Amino acid sequence: MVDERKANLPFPSMLSLLGRRALVTGAASGIGRATALCLAELGADLVLADRAPLEALCSEIKGLGRSATALQGDLTDDAFLDRIVEGGPYYSFAYVAGVFRAPKGASSGEAFDFVMHVNVRAPLVLGYALIERAEPQAGGYMVFVGSSAGRSGKGRLGEQTEYVTYASSKGGLHSLVRALASKGAEKNILVNGVAPGVVRTPMLEDTAPHLMRSREVSPLGRSADPMELGWPIALLCSPAASFVSGAILDANGGAFVG
């Protein structure tokens, strides 16, 4: 039975993002969508970036009483990256966008460049530019979503070198987190990463649908719901993480312990 004295606990001020602007890339679906909704529940006003339509998510966020601005475009387009940066500053920034493989018809070289561009170059450009443009001691939070693949290098999905390319890109992103953490500290901007395991997202359904309901993906006997990643990301985007910087949070149900 719920203790009625504890049923209406006050909202912890260290989790509050009221009056703050938060940017989420890859927001249209999966972990990005979950992250945006979690940040909205913490009070943030959202700026959402994705190449897919964002109208439905904007409506849902507005239904929570927060504002939502959609920026639709391609993260391989430098003009779109400039547009995102110009829309700042942002108190919280969650780079959730990620790809496993290139569109069909790409050569091996084009496929490698595409994955590296979305998973490494775009977050580097955005993270570096937003820190550079921030006022001295501006304060804020950045979270970059990597992968347990970038932590362990283990696993075999996709064709030929697809998994190796993906794992390498996420390992590179984890290194980027540490580099940006050092730079961000100069302006009181804390930079961290989250490394998910198997999560039930459209990307997983596209690349490995057999894992969606597999009991073998983690010691917990299941894969993760996107909201189980959204909340840890939102936590690291809030003042509750005010002394955490340069960390990679493993959120994989115990599948990898490093």
Kindly report the CATH number assigned to the domain that includes residue 72: 3.40.50.720
208 within a domain of the structure (yes/no): yes
Look at residue 223 in the predicted model and tell me its pLDDT.
81
Q: What is the structure's pLDDT at 46?
A: 98
Q: What is the pLDDT of residue 139?
A: 95
CA distance 47 to 44: 10
| pLDDT band of 191, cuts 50, 70, 90 | very high
Structure tokens at 230: 């959204």
pTM score:
0.92
177 in any annotated domain: yes
Residue environment code for 45-65, b if the CB has 16+ CB neighbours within 10 A, otherwise e: bbbbbbbeebeebbeebeeee
Percent of the chain whose pLDDT exceeds 90: 74
Say what the pLDDT of residue 81 is: 98
**Would you say residue 1 lies in a domain?**
no
35 lies in a domain? Answer: yes
Q: Is residue 6 part of a domain?
A: no
Write down the pLDDT at residue 6. 60
Q: Using the predicted structure, report yes or no on whether residue 245 has a pLDDT greater than 80.
A: yes
d(CA 239, CA 115) in angstroms, rounded, equals: 32
Q: In this prediction, what percent of the chain has a pLDDT beyond 70?
A: 94
Is residue 3 one of the residues assigned to a domain?
A: no
Burial zone of 231 (CB within 10 Å; 0-12 exposed, 13-18 middle, 19+ buried): middle
Convert the pLDDT of each residue in 82-131 to its tens digit: 999 999 999 999 999 999 999 988 999 999 999 999 999 999 999 999 99
What's the structural domain count of the chain?
1
Domain with 131 in it:
15-251
Let me know if residue 121 belongs to a domain: yes
Lowest mean pLDDT among 27-31, 70-74, 133-137, 203-207: 203-207
- pLDDT of amino acid 211: 74
Q: Which of 102-116, 168-182, 195-209 has the highest mean pLDDT?
A: 168-182
Question: Residue 63 domain-assigned?
Answer: yes
* pLDDT at residue 156, rounded to an integer: 61
Q: Does position 2 have pLDDT exceeding 60, yes or no?
A: no
pLDDT for the residue 11: 79
Length of the chain: 258
pLDDT digits (tens, 9 = 90+) for 207-243: 777 776 778 788 888 988 999 999 999 999 999 999 9
**Residue 30: partners with Cβ closer than 8 Å, 6 or more residues away:** 96, 199, 201, 202, 203, 226
- Choose the most confident range, by mean pLDDT, from 47-51, 104-108, 252-256: 47-51
CA-nearest of 87, 88, 193 to 135 is 88
